[in-house]
Chains A and B, each alone.
Chain A
Amino acid sequence: AQTVTQSQPEMSVQEAETVTLSCTYDTSESDYYLFWYKQPPSRQMILVIRQEAYKQQNATENRFSVNFQKAAKSFSLKISDSQLGDAAMYFCASPNQAGTALIFGKGTTLSVSS
């Protein structure tokens, strides 16, 4: 079965600093997408960034970027210049075996202090 592993249940960062959240996944596909979602206390699921596996270049969305290591099946999220509004639970997601839906890791709770 496909699995997504987030090994850091909690992380903390100070405002304006940089933090990296880790994720590893398991898939037998050669082309696929990976995702990071943010879930603030409101519980709304917000797409942060996505990465297509066949693209060598790491995806970037403003202060959010990924470090995608395909051979290692690693997909970490880097948040630069952290802001108080970044405090949330972050989920890594990869396709299920059929490619029809996403499966999620257990999440990393990020706290941001001023």
Chain B
Amino acid sequence: NAGVTQTPKFRILKIGQSMTLQCTQDMNHNYMYWYRQDPGMGLKLIYYSVGAGITDKGEVPNGYNVSRSTTEDFPLRLELAAPSQTSVYFCASSYQQGGSGNTIYFGEGSWLTVV
């Protein structure tokens, strides 16, 4: 039972580099989310998707892009990495919309450092 799988778990990027955080879920969930968690802080919603081909911005979308070509995958792209993007990134999914009581399942997080 894999659930939500994120790769890589750890990554160090140089300023200005780009990278993609991969996320896949095997629960046939419609909704997927990307959150970031800065040290000692709560989770901030970056982007979310309500189904394949549909994405929408969350609280902190600047500097990121997403796509959802399949139900299973929801990659997060960082363009021109900046030190302010140093954070732990969580991918999550739920069968229906998370704000309506459906359980949101989280991946284990990806630690990203930009130097």
Contacts and interface: CB of A to CB of B under 8 A. Distances in A.
Whether both chains belong to one complex is answered with yes
Interface stretch (B21-29, B65-73, B78-86, B100-108): B100-108
A17 interface: no
Contacts of A42: 108
A47 interface: yes
B99 A104 contact: no
B53 interface: no
B31 interface: yes
Interface residues of B, number: 28
Interface residues of A, number: 25
Given A43-B109, A45-B90, A95 B41 contact: no
A43 B41 contact: no
**Chain A binding surface, main DSSP class:** loop
Contacts of A95: 98-100
A14 B46 CA distance: 37
A52 interface: yes
8 contacts: A94-B99, A96-B59, A99-B99, A99-B100, A100-B97, A100-B98, A101-B48, A107-B40
